Structure 1
């Protein structure tokens, strides 16, 4: 291969070309999937790699996936060396001790050949609604070892030289509750990688193979240079922070996550020494998930616009002691780390960085993806179903902005499942879906509001699993800001009796029961007494806070005598403000 010099304009063109291929892969996967978790919630990610397994470009989907993908392909290449790969192959893997994620996240990796030469790799990851295990959704809070969490695929060819291996496909289908959806989503993953192959061949035909190879290298080198430049602007030193997870599903004992971010010129070391030992329950974070959290957090605060690829993370060293909550020994259960521990790891890094980059920092967000699963036998359809969703919460306040309300934050970026889709697809009825008024942490810039969903079960003996956190300890505020409101979950029986559920629980509920889940608000940024009184009034008008909260939390009195309701003209409450 001849060495080609890539100028700035050409670099930008090629960077966008690779990124567009990854984005088209994602669109294909979403549009051809069967499960609501992918086609509606978009719980998937796509990427292009060099033939050596170096990440070149990925679509902007789920941050947790984005951090996992730089390493998973290299691990697969240890199992399937490049010389064993054939045109038309496709490999499936979901083993967390190889892929780094949890079992519902199935990766598909396909080689891309140009004429007879391996030139690149296409990869995607999709969260499947069931892969077997103890409970529907395959994320039991009571699992104590990986064997209880579902079917493990340690790297198997699902397609051999263009021919689908129906024996492997049938093996997968018969080991999951929702075989039709899982198989359909695997076909969607195949479609996504097929698009990548076609577009890469088109790109090579247009520019030449040498030019594409040179561009891949330069794109990664460019990202590496940008990250080094960003790190060099941060003062050298060590910055510590710690936070906790509220139990592992087996016990309620607090689990510590400790971090020391050490900055030295153009390099950063993130050290988790001192974190708790690995848990008995399934909140253990694999090294891959821990790496993903570090990459996301540092990229966010240092240079959010740097292209994400293997070069981006060259200057980052991660120390995650073996046998701890951030790097467990096999066969520890890990399914709930994605929804809870990943968020806490991210919180600790943001907390440490806030000490030196307050203008780039954010108060704690909801601190959990609020994983929620309902499954069982749908007698009307005569088949098993698995409804899986993660619920958003409040974003933390920032130096110049309030946190957003009811959104996915940090390591998750999926959409919600529309109410209409839930009710059309599953034997469930959504009674209510709203923001939780008053749940945002008070501050100069308040935290975002959590959200609430109230779901009624329309079948018998459905299994309900909640994978949440922040019921006891609020998402923290920064620089005088207060914490957001805690999460809560309530079971309402058909007789109207109410039972408060813990943050990590699996129950069997009878027909007619309702589950009410309220997620946490984000922490506030800055003292609440510095908030603009007009902003407080606007919050009252919108129903974000009450008159009492305006007075007690912000020191702002809204003159009730001057209030007037004129719905025909303004459809809101007018008021005067006294600070």
Structure 2
């Protein structure tokens, strides 16, 4: 393939992912997927190798790329098959993230897969929002091991009914799953048409060429890293179960054509839910190195051929069943990014930015009772770290998430909540030649009793500055003006007010 033909092919296969995302968003029932955009879509080759992805959520996409080979290799696929999974230890991330994988055939030949992953605000946990302050995986909701939800195009009604019946609002859950199924069906048709237009053999050759091109671009970019070993240690605030300041240690070893990322020395898995499977750690590692690559680099497996990952089994970033993982996917992944950027700042001091807010500020809430059933979940933006060329942005989602804050109008329409304040947290970014971005303040007033869970970080440790820049301010959680713990579950009454003040980003360079 010449350069123009390869570029067109890359755009066409990425457009399949984009269209899948549009179908999923527009047909989903829940605000979490429809308005907050907590979903991701990707295309894979027949062996499970990543071929393309939309600009969706890094923690979803990187973990799928890491785990897909094992998932698809364990199934005897037939046309019309679609697999469902959320088990974090078998290819998932945390239980609310449910993945659907559809096989794509051309003239009876398996040519690849389309997949989407969406966050369900209710996946059957006792705590509304299915993000509890948990100690075991089974407390976090229904565990779905890899299983065929559709076989030969026919829905397994029994399995579908079991999954949806475990939720408090089965009709909403059914709508969201149907949206995921529809997105995969559209993606499968588009991918089949793309392959048919080229011919099956030519399509697979184009995939190989695309990955080779990505590997070449990545190799040139990684060659700018000076050979050597670069270390950094950052810390999780706590695990919600009394264990504080848990280290994440990373050592990056750069050789001529290989980069090894080793997490030896990281804290052991902990009783709280900030553990994560290795696939989530891989997603954070892939994300950081993807940021170093040229913008035209295809988002496919070839981009990561030179990146190798290791972590001791049973540590915080390579946990073993039945460790709780609800916050590992969202909070620990964010700290892995911070630790890896800190290490790479020693190798590329003129390219690496200061730490961003380092948390997704997870808020889950809802109610259960006679005639009352609702679940709500969102993450909140904060300050982006200042960088070598520009200051950090204010009040944005950073690094491992790429979602939106739910619009106030949607929150107040669907839930017994009022948003009293939504503002930039002025002065929370770190000082510097390029200051860190400010966090935000969001205050909720409850119009009815509810249960609330907070899973937040950077409430004690500050987002660090670089090259003489100041640290960003840690975040703060308050109920009726009284401070709350970073990770807490509580009951609230009508009239109570919950305020989240999110961290600012670190500053870069001497002020």
Q: Which residue is equivalent to 1:221?
A: 212
Which among 421, 424, 442 is matched to residue 410 of structure 2? 421
Q: Which protein, 1 or 2, shows the higher relative CO under an 8 Å CA cutoff with sep ≥ 6?
A: 2
The question of whether the paired residues in 2 share the 8 Å contact of 1:378 and 1:427 is answered with no
What is the CA-CA distance between 1:304 and the residue it aligns to? 4.5
The whole-number CA distance in structure 1 between the counterparts of 2:54 and 2:453 is: 30
Helix, strand or coil: the match of 1:358?
A: coil
The whole-number CA distance in structure 1 between the counterparts of 2:384 and 2:295 is: 17
The question of whether the paired residues in 2 share the 8 Å contact of 1:129 and 1:178 is answered with no
Alignment of 1:216-365 (within 5 A): 216-365=207-356
What is the CA-CA distance between 1:356 and the residue it aligns to? 1.7
Helix, strand or coil: the match of 1:219?
A: helix
Q: Which residue is equivalent to 1:140?
A: 132
Q: Which residue is equivalent to 1:534?
A: none
Helix, strand or coil: the match of 2:150?
A: strand
Which among 423, 428, 441 is matched to residue 439 of structure 1? 428
Is structure 2 residue 113 aligned with structure 1 residue 121? Answer: yes
* Larger mean Cα displacement after TM superposition, 505-514 or 200-209: 200-209
5+ unaligned residues in a row in structure 2: which ranges? none
How far does the alpha carbon of each residue in 1:215-270 deviate from its partner, in whole angstroms, 9 at most, with x for none? 01111111111111211221100011011001101014210000011100121000
How far does the alpha carbon of each residue in 1:415-443 deviate from its partner, in whole angstroms, 9 at most, with x for none? 11000000001111111111101111111
The whole-number CA distance in structure 2 between the counterparts of 1:137 and 1:64 is: 19
Is structure 2 residue 444 aligned with structure 1 residue 455? Answer: yes
How far does the alpha carbon of each residue in 1:15-53 deviate from its partner, in whole angstroms, 9 at most, with x for none? 111001111111111111111111111111101111111
The whole-number CA distance in structure 2 between the counterparts of 1:360 and 1:172 is: 46
Which among 464, 469, 473 is matched to residue 476 of structure 1? 464
Helix, strand or coil: the match of 2:80?
A: coil
Helix, strand or coil: the match of 2:249?
A: strand
Alignment of 1:363-512 (within 5 A): 363-377=354-368, 382-460=371-449, 462-492=450-480, 498-512=481-495
The aligned length equals: 511
Q: Which residue is equivalent to 1:541?
A: none
TM-score under structure 1 length normalisation: 0.87
The question of whether the paired residues in 2 share the 8 Å contact of 1:137 and 1:374 is answered with yes
The question of whether the paired residues in 1 share the 8 Å contact of 2:386 and 2:505 is answered with yes
The whole-number CA distance in structure 1 between the counterparts of 2:103 and 2:457 is: 40
The question of whether the paired residues in 2 share the 8 Å contact of 1:129 and 1:388 is answered with yes
Q: Which residue is equivalent to 1:205?
A: 196
5+ unaligned residues in a row in structure 1: which ranges? 1-5, 493-497, 529-579
The whole-number CA distance in structure 2 between the counterparts of 1:7 and 1:163 is: 41
The whole-number CA distance in structure 1 between the counterparts of 2:55 and 2:123 is: 25
The whole-number CA distance in structure 1 between the counterparts of 2:296 and 2:233 is: 27
The whole-number CA distance in structure 1 between the counterparts of 2:153 and 2:58 is: 31
Which among 94, 97, 111 is matched to residue 103 of structure 2? 111
Helix, strand or coil: the match of 2:248?
A: strand
Which among 36, 42, 46 is matched to residue 47 of structure 1? 42
Q: CA RMSD in A?
A: 1.2
4+ runs deviating over 4 angstroms: none
What is the CA-CA distance between 1:359 and the residue it aligns to? 2.3
Helix, strand or coil: the match of 2:346?
A: coil
The question of whether the paired residues in 1 share the 8 Å contact of 2:92 and 2:99 is answered with no
The whole-number CA distance in structure 1 between the counterparts of 2:11 and 2:208 is: 14
The whole-number CA distance in structure 2 between the counterparts of 1:78 and 1:250 is: 38
How far does the alpha carbon of each residue in 1:466-487 deviate from its partner, in whole angstroms, 9 at most, with x for none? 1111111210000110011110
Is structure 2 residue 16 aligned with structure 1 residue 21? Answer: yes
Helix, strand or coil: the match of 1:197?
A: helix
Which among 78, 82, 95 is matched to residue 87 of structure 2? 95
What is the CA-CA distance between 1:130 and the residue it aligns to? 1.0
What is the CA-CA distance between 1:115 and the residue it aligns to? 2.5
Higher Rg of the two aligned structures: 1
The whole-number CA distance in structure 2 between the counterparts of 1:278 and 1:219 is: 38
Q: Which residue is equivalent to 2:503?
A: 520
How far does the alpha carbon of each residue in 1:494-519 deviate from its partner, in whole angstroms, 9 at most, with x for none? xxxx3210111110111111100000
Helix, strand or coil: the match of 1:255?
A: strand
The whole-number CA distance in structure 2 between the counterparts of 1:14 and 1:325 is: 40
How far does the alpha carbon of each residue in 1:284-334 deviate from its partner, in whole angstroms, 9 at most, with x for none? 021000000100011112444421111111111111111111101111001
Q: Which residue is equivalent to 1:62?
A: 57
Is structure 2 residue 79 aligned with structure 1 residue 79? Answer: no
The whole-number CA distance in structure 2 between the counterparts of 1:507 and 1:157 is: 38
The whole-number CA distance in structure 1 between the counterparts of 2:9 and 2:356 is: 36
The whole-number CA distance in structure 2 between the counterparts of 1:149 and 1:216 is: 38
The question of whether the paired residues in 2 share the 8 Å contact of 1:465 and 1:507 is answered with yes
Which among 16, 24, 27 is matched to residue 32 of structure 1? 27
The whole-number CA distance in structure 2 between the counterparts of 1:435 and 1:178 is: 34
The question of whether the paired residues in 2 share the 8 Å contact of 1:378 and 1:385 is answered with no
* Larger mean Cα displacement after TM superposition, 404-413 or 169-178: 169-178
Helix, strand or coil: the match of 2:104?
A: strand
Is structure 2 residue 187 aligned with structure 1 residue 193? Answer: no
What is the CA-CA distance between 1:73 and the residue it aligns to? 2.2
The question of whether the paired residues in 1 share the 8 Å contact of 2:42 and 2:116 is answered with yes
